[in-house]
Amino acid sequence: MQRISWVTFGLVAAVATCDGASTASASVAEFYSGKNVSIIISVSPGGGYDVLARTVARHIQKHVPGNPAFVPRNMPGAGGIVAAKYLYTGAPRDGSVIGITQNTTPLEPLLGSPAADFDPTKFNWIGTPSLETGLLIAWHTSPFKTFADVTQKEMTAGASGTNSGPAFFSRLLNELLGARIKVIAGYPGQNEALIAMERGELDTYGVTFWSSLTSARPQWLKDNLVRILLQYGPVREEALKDVPYGPDLVKSPEDKLLFEAAYGSLSLGRPFFMPPDVPADRVQAMRAGFMAMLADKEFLAEATRLGIQADNSRNGEQLQAEVERLYRMPPHVIERLRRIAQGK
C-alpha cells in the first residue's frame, strides 16, 4: 500500500479546506448578488441608533460577498420588543434581514416581560461598534445641577414604555442610589423625548447613552444645553472624567452586584443581529463584513463626523457569549432585577 506522508496529507487537507471556503464564499456571494438586505431599526427616526444604522447601511455593502444593497426600515415599539419579535418569528431566515436593537431588549425575557416571548440566545449576533456608557442628563434650565439634586426633588423622565430601557434604568437609580425619578411613558422613542426636554416638558430621558448624545445631539454638548449628572456602564467614559460613576456611589456589595448585572446590557453596545436559523455561512459573512466595515477609513471618517462611537467594538461571537452569560446570572440577582423591571 502506498504511503502518504503527513506533509502531503496536510497539503491535501489545506487545499480541500481552501476549496471548501471558496465554495462557501461563492455560494454566499451568489445568494446576496442583486439582493436587498433590510436593516430593521427598533427605534423611531432621528435618534442615535437610527443614525448608526443608516451609516452602516451606506458602508457595509462593499464588505459583504455579492455586495447587496442595505435598506433601513424603522420598526419602533415597546422598547425594541416589536422589532425583536419580528426578527424572531416573522422575518425571513435566509440572511436577507438584519436588525439593530436597544441593548436592553435582549434582557426583556430574562426580566419577565410578558411581551418578550423570544429567546435572545437563539439570535445570530453580528457585532457592535462600541460599548455603551449610560448617562443621567438634565436640561440646562431644569433645577438639577448635580446628582444629589435628583435625590432631593422629583425628576421627570421620558420613556417609550413602562418596560423599556429608560424606565428600567430610572427605577434602578431610584432603588440603588436614592434618586427620585418619575417615569412618564408614551414617547415613541428617544428623539421625541429629547424634543420634549427642549420644550421643557421633561427634565430628562430615562437613560441617554454617551454615543447617542454625541451623534444625535452634538450641539447640546457644544452649547452646554444639558448637564451630565451621572455615568454608569462596563467602562468609564474617558471624556467624562469629572462626572460621578454610579457604581462608586453604591455601598452594599449586594447592590454593587445588582448594578453590575443591570448594566450588563450596556456591554452589548449597539447590537446588530440576525434571526435564528440563518445559514451559518451567511451569518459568518455578515459578521466578517461588519467587522471589516468598522476598520474602513471611509466609514470611520463619517462616524467621526456624525459623532458615532466606533472605538471599542465587539464581534458577533463576543456578543453571543455575553448574552449567554447574562442568562446564567444567579437566580437571586435575576429575581431582584425582575422586581425593578416590573416596577414592584
Would you say residue 336 lies in a domain? no
Would you say residue 43 lies in a domain? yes
Q: Are 183 and 162 in contact (CB under 8 A)?
A: yes
What is the Cα gyration radius of the chain? 22
| 159 and 245, same domain (yes or no) | yes
First to last CA, the chain: 76
* Cell numbers at 88, concatenated: 424572531
| 171 and 221, same domain (yes or no) | yes
Would you say residue 343 lies in a domain? no
Which of residues 265, 289, 315 is at a domain's end?
Answer: 265
| 165 and 279, same domain (yes or no) | no
Would you say residue 335 lies in a domain? no
pLDDT for the residue numbered 47 = 83
Q: Are 70 and 37 in contact (CB under 8 A)?
A: yes
The 10s digit of each residue's pLDDT in 126-148 is 999 999 899 999 999 999 999 99
CATH number, position 18:
3.40.190.150
Which of residues 218, 236, 265 is at a domain's end?
Answer: 265
Would you say residue 127 lies in a domain? yes
Please name the helix (run of DSSP H) or strand (run of DSSP E) that holds residue 335, with its range, or none: helix 331-341
pLDDT for the residue numbered 316 = 98
- What stretches in the chain show pLDDT beneath 50? 1-22
| 95 and 161, same domain (yes or no) | no
Query: CA 30, CA 54: separation in Å to the nearest integer?
Result: 25
| 201 and 304, same domain (yes or no) | no
Query: CA 177, CA 341: separation in Å to the nearest integer?
Result: 16
pLDDT for the residue numbered 85 = 98
pLDDT for the residue numbered 235 = 82
CATH number, position 213:
3.40.190.10
Q: Are 131 and 290 in contact (CB under 8 A)?
A: no
pLDDT for the residue numbered 12 = 42
For residue 327, give the nearest of 116, 40, 75, 167 by alpha carbon: 116
Would you say residue 339 lies in a domain? no
| 209 and 298, same domain (yes or no) | no
The 10s digit of each residue's pLDDT in 153-188 is 999 999 988 878 889 899 999 999 999 999 999 998
In the chain, how many domains are there?
Answer: 2
| 250 and 295, same domain (yes or no) | no
Query: CA 104, CA 271: separation in Å to the nearest integer?
Result: 10
Q: Are 42 and 85 in contact (CB under 8 A)?
A: no
Query: CA 15, CA 9: separation in Å to the nearest integer?
Result: 10
Range of the domain at 178: 134-265
| 34 and 155, same domain (yes or no) | no
